[in-house]
Amino acid sequence: MPEKRRIAVLASGNGSNFQALLDACVSGVINAEIVLLVSNKRHAYAITRARLAHVKVLVMEPEKFKSRTVHCAKIARAMNDLNVDLVCLAGYLLKVEPCLTRSFPNRILNIHPALLPKYGGKGMYGRHVHEAVLLAKEAESGCSVHLVNEIYDEGPVLAQARVPVSPEDTADTLAGKIHPVEYKLYVEVVRDVCAGKIDLDAKGATK
Ligand code: GRF
């Protein structure tokens, strides 16, 4: 059995994707351990999930730091101290700073609740994404797992899953359809990355 990978998750909110990754690591579906949860929101429910699972928590509210660069450097240092080798964003609503992408080149993944490259970019998060999809009368939506670079939602897409959009859908019902599909897709991609079946350098956001 190859050595377990060491994952850090960054989350700002509920953390249900974090939970899916956590469960898959604990059950052995993913050959990794989640060694750190970083949140920029002190009241994020993801923190409660981490504490219940005895995962180390780092609350990093950017307004408490002199600059975003200092904030980012502290996060990178904490990850390096824990020998993190894969970073998973799971509903992390802060822009990832260059210092993080430089510290973990081609090692940061994100899940986005739409079929990128459509409905990504600044401001496209949470219900805004689903509202835009509904406004455009799309027949389908879904989710994408991608490598993270310094531009919002622009790194290479690794995998996508689709769901049909019906005329009765609201942002909430669409989010409700996409969420379970996200858990499955994110777990599969992280599983395959940790098993060496997906070569992140070959997919490379940073060459
Ligand atoms: C998910 O829809 C994910 O695609 C997006 O943010 C949401 C996070 O949900 N990046 P949760 O906090 O994992 O429940």
* Cα 1 to averaged position of ligand 1 atoms, centre (Å): 31
Q: Which helix (H) or strand (E) holds 81?
A: helix 68-81
Measured from the CA of 178, which atom of ligand 1 is nearest? 2
Asked if the structure places residue 172 within a domain, the reply is no
The parts of the chain modelled with pLDDT lower than 50 are: 207
Asked if the structure places residue 127 within a domain, the reply is no
Asked if the structure places residue 98 within a domain, the reply is yes
Q: How many domains does one find in the chain?
A: 1
Asked if the structure places residue 167 within a domain, the reply is no
Asked if the structure places residue 87 within a domain, the reply is yes
In this structure, which residue's CA is closest to atom 7 in ligand 1?
91
- What is the rounded CA–CA span in Å between residue 157 and residue 169? 26
b (16+ CB within 10 A) / e for 31-62 = bbebbbbbbbbeebbbbebbeeeebeebebee
Asked if the structure places residue 204 within a domain, the reply is no
Q: Average pLDDT, whole number, for the chain?
A: 95
Measured from the CA of 92, which atom of ligand 1 is nearest? 10
CATH classification of the domain holding 24 = 3.40.50.170
Domain that holds residue 82: 5-111+144-157+184-197
Asked if the structure places residue 29 within a domain, the reply is yes
**Which residues are within 8 A (CB) of 86 and not within 5 positions of it... i.e. 6 or more apart?**
5, 6, 7, 8, 32, 104, 107, 109, 190, 193, 194
pLDDT at 1: 67
What Rg value do the Cα atoms of the chain yield, rounded? Answer: 16
Is residue 43 flagged as an active site residue? no
Measured from the CA of 179, which atom of ligand 1 is nearest? 2
pLDDT at 207: 47
Please answer whether residues 115 and 144 qualify as being in contact, where contact means their C-beta atoms are separated by less than 8 angstroms.
yes
Look up the pTM and report it.
0.96
Asked if the structure places residue 163 within a domain, the reply is no
CB 15 near ligand 1, within 6 Å:
yes
pLDDT at 151: 80
Please answer whether residues 160 and 117 qualify as being in contact, where contact means their C-beta atoms are separated by less than 8 angstroms.
no
* Cα 168 to averaged position of ligand 1 atoms, centre (Å): 22
